[in-house]
Copies of this chain bind each other. A is one copy, B any other.
Amino acid sequence: MSAIRGARERARTEVTAAIKEEARRQLADRGAGELSLRAVARELGMVSSALYRYFPSRDDLLTALIIDAYDALGADAEAALAATEGSDPVSRWTAVCRAVRAWALGHPHEYALIYGSPVPGYAAPQDTTGPAARVGLALIAVARDAHAAGTLRETSEEPPAAVLADARSLGERLDVRLPPPVLGKLVAAWAQLFGLVNFEVFGQFQRVVEAREEFFTRAVADLARGIGLTAPGPGPSRP
C-alpha cells in the first residue's frame, strides 16, 4: 500500500512538473498576465478541468512559478558564491553578479516574472519572500566574509541617519555583523545590479551597449569597489 502511494505521489509530482514546465514555456509567448490554464492543458493533452487537481487556481500556478524562479536564480547565485570561496572579494562579488546575469539572460521570461512589472491583480503571498532574498543574501555573504577576513575597506562618509537606521535594523534582522554604512551601500548596489540586468534583458541597451558582457563585468566590479570590497592585483584602485 505504501508502494502504491509512492507511485501515486511520483505520478503526481511528475504531472505537476510537466504543468509547470509547459506554463514556463508559455510565459515566453504570452506573458505572466495572460498565462492560461486552458492553453497549458491543451498543450499537455489534458482537459482544463484536470489541472485544478494540481493547482487550485491560476494564481497558485503563478505563485509556484515565481517561487521556482527565485529559487533557481538564488541557487545559481549561491553556487557562484560557494565556487569562489577563498578568492578575493571583488572576484566573488563579480562572480555572483555574473551568475545572476547569466541566469536572467538564459531565462528572460522567468526573470521578467520576478524582476519585471508586477503581475496586475496578483498579490505575492508570503511564501515568496524567502526565496526572493537568496540573491541579496549571497551578495551580503561576500561582504561579510571580506569583513571577517579584514579585506573590507570602511567608508569614510556616514550616510544620513534614517538610512543608517534602516541598515542597522536590516543587519539585526538578518543577524549579519557588518558596519551599517556598508550594509546601506550594499542594498543600493543590490538594486543597481538589477538595473544593469534589467536594461540588458529588457532591451534598453540596444544600439547603446554592444560589448555587454565586458560592460557588465566592469560595472559590477565598480559596484564592488564602491562598497569597499578590495581586490589584489596590478595596483590598488586608489594609488
Classify the secondary structure of A's interface with B: helix
Chain B residues contacting A218 (CB-CB under 8 Å) are 159-160, 163, 184, 188
Bound complex: CA of A119 vs CA of B33, how far in Å?
A: 10
CB distance from A69 to the nearest CB of B (A): 13
CB distance from A162 to the nearest CB of B (A): 3
Bound complex: CA of A35 vs CA of B215, how far in Å?
A: 36
Bound complex: CA of A160 vs CA of B210, how far in Å?
A: 13
CB distance from A128 to the nearest CB of B (A): 11
A209 touches B (CB below 8 Å): yes
Q: Are A194 and B187 in contact (CB under 8 A)?
A: no
Q: Are B116 and A163 in contact (CB under 8 A)?
A: no
Contact mask for chain A residues 149-178; partner B; CB cutoff 8 A; 1 contact, 0 none:
000000011011011011000100000000
Chain B residues contacting A86 (CB-CB under 8 Å) are none
A193 touches B (CB below 8 Å): yes
Chain A residues numbered 170-219 whose CB sits less than 8 Å from any CB in chain B: 170, 184-185, 187-188, 191-196, 198-199, 202-205, 207-211, 214-215, 218-219
Q: Are B31 and A165 in contact (CB under 8 A)?
A: no
| B32, B185, B202, B208: the one within 8 Å of A187 (CB) | B208
CB distance from A103 to the nearest CB of B (A): 16
Q: Are B31 and A120 in contact (CB under 8 A)?
A: yes
CB distance from A66 to the nearest CB of B (A): 13
- Taking each of A30, A113, A184, A188, which has the highest tally of chain B beta carbons within 10 Å of its own beta carbon? A188
Q: Are B188 and A196 in contact (CB under 8 A)?
A: yes
A45 touches B (CB below 8 Å): no
A239 touches B (CB below 8 Å): yes
Bound complex: CA of A103 vs CA of B218, how far in Å?
A: 30
A226 touches B (CB below 8 Å): yes
By a beta-carbon cutoff of 8 Å, the part of chain A in contact with chain B is: 29-34, 112-113, 115-121, 129, 156-157, 159-160, 162-163, 165-166, 170, 184-185, 187-188, 191-196, 198-199, 202-205, 207-211, 214-215, 218-219, 222-223, 226, 237-239
Query: Could you write out 7 A-B pairs with CB less than 8 Å apart?
Result: A29-B120, A157-B237, A160-B211, A162-B211, A163-B218, A188-B215, A188-B218
Closest 4 CB pairs of A and B: A195-B195, A116-B117, A31-B120, A162-B211
